[in-house]
Amino acid sequence: VQLQASGGGLVQAGDSLRLSCAASGRSLSRYPVGWFRQAPGKERDFVAAISWSSTYTYYADSVKGRFAISKDNAKNTVYLQMNSLQPEDTATYYCAVRDQRFSELGIKLNEYEYWGRGTQVTVSS
């Protein structure tokens, strides 16, 4: 399984970005996918997750109401729409996929077995 995250960049506070996570070697239609982020000097934290069926989503409190996760099975890609970005959203964003088909979505790092390389998001004030 290979995951390629893209869409990061340098934006100003209040702007929007859409991150993409394209998968190869596995159909995301059967697996939960999560987004995590890691700021310099900090631990990697959960951001959002989507269930394999796309029926359920879950967000960290810090992004709830601003970020939205979605999945396009035809493109085998998961998106993270990020609105009203703030400087505290600055981090490297990673997508991850669980190993077990039809499993529940997870919010912990150790619940995900496959990780992409990450894409940098920088928000200036």
pLDDT at 43 (0 to 100): 97
pLDDT at 68: 98
Mean pLDDT of the chain: 96
- How much is the pLDDT for 109? 96
Q: What is the mean pLDDT of residues 29-51?
A: 97
> Rounded to an integer, what distance in angstroms lies between the CA atom of residue 27 and that of residue 24?
7
Which residues lie closer than 8 Å to 33 by C-beta, 6 or more apart?
A: 21, 49, 50, 69, 71, 78, 95, 96, 97, 98
Q: How large is the average pLDDT for residues 24-36?
A: 94
